[in-house]
């Protein structure tokens, strides 16, 4: 099914998101599925970084794409589709975080199983270190305020350009740079011990 879909839309896929958006506007569900296939991992990871829980991140990813589907007619610049999706995801995440009773919930790590599966080939010491390090990064991210966490995830963890982040968040580039500088400093203070361990190894 997926292969046929990709084959059917190979030309569109090679062109630009413009055709896909036009397809969705015409009511073509396959075009929307392709947009989802292209971007859902990015959006999911961003949301996971923002809220810190896999299940909630998945719910919010679904909510983000539902919003996108309903409002696809409002996309002004098709080339900035990913920024547009991230803008929606950011609003959805902020709304979810604000509606939750306590912030402490954020630091719960619920993806250990996956992390351990991925670490299966590593030595026990390295695996333990990685698991611990993930928890530290997780907590350090939770300690950042929403704006700093957003820019840190998009820039450092997902390598978006400042222009793209500015389009997604509506912030100016100087503000993004200031937030990122402070976020990095805060994160470094927390993970420094692990960087030193690596130097010793």
Partner 1 sequence: MKCEACLGMMDELIEGELDSSMVREVNAHIAMCASCSQLYAQLRYEQELYGNYLLEVEPTPALWANLRSELEKEKVNRASQPQFRIQRWLALGGLNVTPQMATALVLITIGLAIGIMVWRTTIEVSKHKAQNPHVAVQPSSEVNPAGTNHDGNTTDRQGSANDNDRKILPSSPKSGDRGREIRVSAVGRAGRRMIDRSPAGPTVDQVTRRAEQQYLSAIEILSIDIKRRRSVISPALLAQLERALSEVDRNIAATRRVAREQPRDPVAVQYLALAYEKKVELLRDVTSW
Nearest-angstrom CA–CA distance, 73 and 68: 9
Count residues near partner 1 (CB under 8 A). Answer: 56
| Residue closer to partner 1 (CB basis): 54 or 80 | 54
Minimal distance, residue 138 CB to partner 1, in Å: 8
Nearest-angstrom CA–CA distance, 12 and 34: 10
Of 9, 20, 32, 148, which one interacts with partner 1 (CB under 8 A)?
32
**Contact between 118 and partner 1 (CB under 8 A)?**
yes
Stretch (H or E) spanning 16: none
Return the closest-CA partner of residue 39 out of 110, 74, 88, 111: 88
What SS3 state is found at 9?
A: coil
**Contact between 134 and partner 1 (CB under 8 A)?**
yes
List Cβ neighbours of 139 (8 Å cut-off, separation of 6 or more): 107, 190
Of 101, 123, 159, 201, which one interacts with partner 1 (CB under 8 A)?
159
* Part of the chain binding partner 1 (CB under 8 A), chosen from 12-20, 49-57, 100-108, 142-150: 49-57
List Cβ neighbours of 17 (8 Å cut-off, separation of 6 or more): 35, 38, 78, 79, 81
Binding footprint of partner 1 on the chain (CB under 8 A):
25-27, 29, 32-33, 36-37, 40-41, 44-45, 48-49, 54, 57-58, 61-62, 65-67, 69-71, 73-74, 76, 88, 91-92, 95, 111, 114-115, 118, 133-134, 137-138, 153, 155-159, 161-162, 184, 187-188, 191, 194-195, 198-199
């Amino acid at each position: 099914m997926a292969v046929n879909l990709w084959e059917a839309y190979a030309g569109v896929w090679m062109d630009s998101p413009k055709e896909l958006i036009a397809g969705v506007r015409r009511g073509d569900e396959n075009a929307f599925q392709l947009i989802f296939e292209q971007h859902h991992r990015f959006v999911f990871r961003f949301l996971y970084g923002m809220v810190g829980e896999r299940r909630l991140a998945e719910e919010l990813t679904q909510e983000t794409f539902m919003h996108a589907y309903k409002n696809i007619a409002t996309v002004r610049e098709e080339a900035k589709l990913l920024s547009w999706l991230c803008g929606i995801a950011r609003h959805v995440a902020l709304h979810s975080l604000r509606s939750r009773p306590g912030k402490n919930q954020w630091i719960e790590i619920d993806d250990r199983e996956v992390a351990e599966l991925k670490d299966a080939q590593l030595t026990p010491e390295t695996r333990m270190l990685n698991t611990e390090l993930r928890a530290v990064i997780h907590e350090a991210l939770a300690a950042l305020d929403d704006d700093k966490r957003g820019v840190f995830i998009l820039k450092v963890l997902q390598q978006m350009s400042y222009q793209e982040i500015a389009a997604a968040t509506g912030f100016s580039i100087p503000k993004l740079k200031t937030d990122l500088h402070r976020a990095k400093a805060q994160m470094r203070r927390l993970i420094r011990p692990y960087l030193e361990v690596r130097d010793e190894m």
